[in-house]
Amino acid sequence: MRSLNICIDIDGTITDSYYWLDFCNEHFSTNITEADVTAHSMHEVLGVDEDEFLKFYERNKLKFHSNQKVREDAGPIIRGLSCYHNIYFVTARDEGLTMFTHGFLRKNEIPYDRLFVLGTPNKVQKAEAVKCDVFIEDSYDNAIQLSEAGYAVLLLDACYNRKPINGNITRVNTWNEINDIISGLAEENKAM
């Protein structure tokens, strides 16, 4: 039996938080830097109309996500965690990206037990369904929603999520830090 049910977001969590900047800067003729990304909504950061951004995204979503790089240490750490824990990827990506996302994870040799491509940022129901023990996330709003529902959240630090957190959220900076925290949770779980 595996110790913990770990839910992991994808974009900005196992991938670089700012993977989209160059592509969007080029398309929208902007010069946004990482330090300028103080909101999770890309259209807000870019200063463009939401409908205009959504049309751009819909036309370019495969190219948009194709250039993503996996964060340093995320792959090896997830591979190690998967030996002892259940790994569930839970993403708000468009449901039409399901096969693409499976391919992305396989190409980067990232193991998982299940992938849930929700098409919505509401992840609480899926966390409940898989009996989530800890959720790794980069979206501040998602972290708050999950934590208020009683889930432990590891919030990967980014310029856009530096707001006050509650007691169920732990702010982390690296995947090594995530690994240490999950190891501690697994030890606590064994002691129970």
SS3 96: helix
- Of the CATH numbers 2.60.120.1440, 3.40.50.1000, 3.40.50.720, 1.10.10.10, which one belongs to the domain with range 5-16+70-191? 3.40.50.1000
Sheet of 114-117, strand order: 114-117, 86-91, 5-8, 134-137, 152-156, 169-172
Give the helix/strand (H/E) hosting 154: strand 152-156
Q: Indicate whether 2 pLDDT > 70.
A: no
* pLDDT average, residue stretch 142-158: 97
CA distance 93 to 116: 9
CA distance 77 to 178: 9
- Entry pTM: 0.92
Q: pLDDT digits over 65-97, tens only?
A: 888 899 989 999 999 999 999 999 999 999 999
Which tokens is 169 given?
A: 């959220």
CA distance 33 to 30: 9
> What pLDDT is stored for residue 189 in this prediction?
72
* Domain-wise residue ranges, the chain: 5-16+70-191, 21-66
Q: pLDDT digits over 11-45, tens only?
A: 999 998 888 888 888 889 999 888 888 888 888 88
Residue 122's region, left for phi above 0, alpha for psi from -120 to 50, else beta, is beta
CA distance 66 to 29: 21
> What pLDDT is stored for residue 63 in this prediction?
86
